[in-house]
Amino acid sequence: MHVTYAITPEDLRILNRHIIFRTPLFRVRFLIRLVIVPLVVSYEAFQHIGHDMLLRVLALAAMSVAWAAFVFWSNDRWNRQHVNQRAGLLGVHTIKIGADGILQSCSAGCGELPWSEITEIEGTKRYIYLFTSPRSALIVPKSGFSHPGEGLEFFRSATAYWQEFPKSPPNPNTNVWPPAPLRT
């Protein structure tokens, strides 16, 4: 079975956000950046604001919102710079799956990946991810399939092939179809 699709910068941003919130280590680091920094800064600022509690709460809220916007902006900026440095990451891709593994071709060339190197397969509302590490995945947008049944067949076939050669036991919570709605 094979599918041809186009990868856009938005697809990569969605993958990076997905990785941040699905991986405990990255989720903790991200939340620390979102919560701890504003608290430390606000503690220092509170010493100069005075004793008015409403003013302190408003200052903390304003700092938290500004910091959250900065963190998301800096992550997106890093992703855009990273994408521009990698040839073949964007554009038209073709993936063919079979019992021996995955054959992927794109503008940068083609390569073969055995199923033993896939660590996890996960389906979301819009994508199928074939993870090769906790931070890296082959992205297969469901929009590349001519109809939803074809996407389901691809997901089931990939999962069946992969489970014959698992690197580690599959996580039953991530190989669920249809996937739970994403929280955005």
Q: Report the 10 Å Cβ neighbour count for 99.
A: 10
The DSSP line for 16-63 is HHHHHHHSHHHHHHHHHHHHHHHHHHHHHHHHHH-S-HHHHHHHHHHH
Predicted confidence pLDDT, tens digits, the chain (184 residues): 889 998 887 888 888 778 777 777 777 777 777 777 777 777 776 776 667 778 777 877 787 788 888 877 887 787 777 766 666 778 899 999 999 899 998 887 888 999 989 988 999 889 999 998 887 889 999 999 998 889 999 999 999 999 887 555 545 444 444 344 444 3
Task: State the virtual CA torsion across 157, 118, 92, 123 in degrees, nearest 10.
Answer: 60
Class of domain 2-8+89-164: mainly beta
Please give the Cα distance from 161 to 41 (Å, whole number). Answer: 51
Task: Residue count of the chain, please give it.
Answer: 184
Q: Any idea where the domains of the chain sit in the sequence?
A: 2-8+89-164, 12-84
